[in-house]
Structure 1
């Protein structure tokens, strides 16, 4: 079954470029477009996309608020992939904290764009570890430290969280740990539950903000 994508960007050329790249793939279909975040919730409800490629900075409603609105008001919401010009951007960090599954740079190559959509559609996160470290250091609230202490992760769960923070997918972690992908998914679920976070992205942010994963 094809991955359905909604494109949200106030630049028509950006939307046209993303559409051309994605629709060249047999397993991806663009089901709609929007020029502002204010139109996202009704479109998501009507089109039921698997992934929303969301610009961060838009005139009426930015990608951060649009992400929050989708996740708060849509049952079984799609994965939000933030599309941005600058990786070291407080807007990007705020979008990730709001629940975006990851972010993609507008200068990314076509193959990287396609990979990003497939990755988040499968439930993985798309993070650039160096950028997230920098963003956590600059914009992080530091509220995650106590939560990390309370979580009391097992040794294997801690190892899985560290690998997530390095940007590894479930398949890559399974190969690294020499276990099955279902085992990795179970460990990931346990980490999310113990940290009290919605998804992998927020778990990684908590890991960096708390100091559980150190820069470098």
Structure 2
């Protein structure tokens, strides 16, 4: 069986909300720590690893990884593609799951489903079908050898290096690409659970506290149910106001 490793790409240098991934989601649990704890055990995934940069300001991410018992790989800040190849070398990964660190609610069940479908179909790149999940709850699965090919290609652009899977997504006919369908009740592309601003940080905190108040687990089904409930409430308020 091929070795599959999930890699969280993480750095402190966000242009819009610096240090956001170490902001608390609840109590003293940061966005990144919460995500690590949720994704520590994913069916079909052999290891969870954090890929950060060699910049001094990212030492705190390496410290968090150590505290959480997760291996860390450090590389270029802007050449994220090379960082993923480095992570694959370190972990002996044949298949990589790409995860960004600014989306705390990523669901291990979604990732497991994508990994299983990826393997079953012999795909080179797999992601959920467009429009089927809220932003921040999706996943990307890619074969390491494909990333190595792109990394070693002298024609690879800086933009492709920064966004890792961009060449695959923009040239799907050149690769064995697969999209995974999810049930209708999860089709909420209008919602965004990634964090890039202070308002979005407050939004995910509110989502967490609302789930806790209902004693609901933070899985994709309950999150989508909560988001749909909130949207319905806003529509009712708008009708009353009009």
TM over 0.5: no
- The structure with more helix, counted as a fraction of residues: 1
Q: Which has the higher contact order (CA 8 A, sep 6+)?
A: 2
TM-score (normalised: structure 1): 0.29
In our comparison, the structure showing a higher alpha carbon Rg is: 2
